[in-house]
Amino acid sequence: MLQSIELPEELNISLGSENRDFAVKGTFAQPVGASVSGILFGAGWLGFTIFMMSFFLGPGFIEGALQSLTSSESSDSADGGIMGYLFFIVFFGIFLSVGLYVFLKGIFSLLKRGGYFVGTPTRLVNFRRGRLISTDWEQFTGNISVRGNNKKGNITLVLRSGKMISGKGGSRYVPDVIYILGIEGAFDIEQICRKRIKENDPTPSS
């Protein structure tokens, strides 16, 4: 077995007597670049929203709201003014929530670890924080990319499953992927994965 490491008891129980081609522990759950992009986008969104809030909801805005509350004008006029102020608050609150969500999602994904990955002749097993995900080799397309070197590299495995995503250019199909990141022997493991995927390919050979 490539890179024999100590595995959690729950994972060993699940694997049982299965042969193990490799066992590694990934660093991150997804590429760092994707997490950083989300953090930067969220921070930029929050910064722009706060700037616009300071422009529209500055001291003059607050003074106007107080004047509307204490104004001797008709109640209909005062209520209309207050509703306008509440609209701006809710509007910017929504934008703040979106920016905060994207920012925090990027932070959490950056802190999320990849967990343990074990390859057997029939499946790839990922175990992280008590959760086990088992994916049969036949579920992979055989499209594999490797970056880095054999001391520390990243593997991306493309699955046959995926989803349609709508964008400016229309809808496009985005396949699901599994990342095995920051591992030793990445190029050796890629060869093992490719071999097992080919052996378990459900499509008949021509």
Pair (61, 131) in one structural domain:
no
- For all residues of the chain together, what is the average pLDDT? 82
Model pLDDT, residue 134: 96
For residue 143, give Cα distances in angstroms to 63, 111, 163, 165, 174.
Answer: 61, 27, 17, 20, 13
In tens, the pLDDT along 146-158 reads 999 988 999 999 9
- Please tell me the distance from the alpha carbon of residue 176 to that of residue 94, in angstroms, as a whole number: 30
- Decide if 4 is inside a domain: no
CATH number of 174's domain: 2.30.29.30
Pair (182, 104) in one structural domain:
no
Average pLDDT over residues 61-85: 54
Pair (89, 132) in one structural domain:
no
Average pLDDT over residues 80-95: 72
Two tokens, residue 63 = 């003074």
Pair (16, 118) in one structural domain:
yes
Pair (104, 126) in one structural domain:
no
Residue 76 has pLDDT above 60, yes or no: no
- Decide if 2 is inside a domain: no
Pair (79, 48) in one structural domain:
yes
- Whole-model pTM: value is 0.69
Residue 66 has pLDDT above 60, yes or no: no
* Number of domain units in the chain: 2
Residue 160 has pLDDT above 60, yes or no: yes
Pair (60, 134) in one structural domain:
no
- Decide if 204 is inside a domain: no
92 near 49, Cβ under 8 Å?
yes
Among 62, 90, 110, which residue terminates a domain? 110
- Decide if 183 is inside a domain: yes
- Give the least confident one: 2-16, 25-39, 51-65, 143-157: 51-65
- Give the least confident one: 71-75, 101-105, 110-114, 166-170: 71-75
Among 93, 110, 127, which residue terminates a domain? 110
Q: Which residue segment(s) compose the domain that 80 sits in?
A: 36-110
In tens, the pLDDT along 89-141 reads 788 788 889 888 888 887 877 777 789 999 999 999 999 988 999 999 999 99
Residue 27 has pLDDT above 80, yes or no: yes
- Decide if 206 is inside a domain: no
Among 89, 110, 131, which residue terminates a domain? 110
User: Measuring CA to CA, which residue among 99, 114, 92, 109 is closest to residue 40?
Assistant: 99
- Decide if 128 is inside a domain: yes
Pair (81, 182) in one structural domain:
no
Strand segments (E) across 46-112:
none
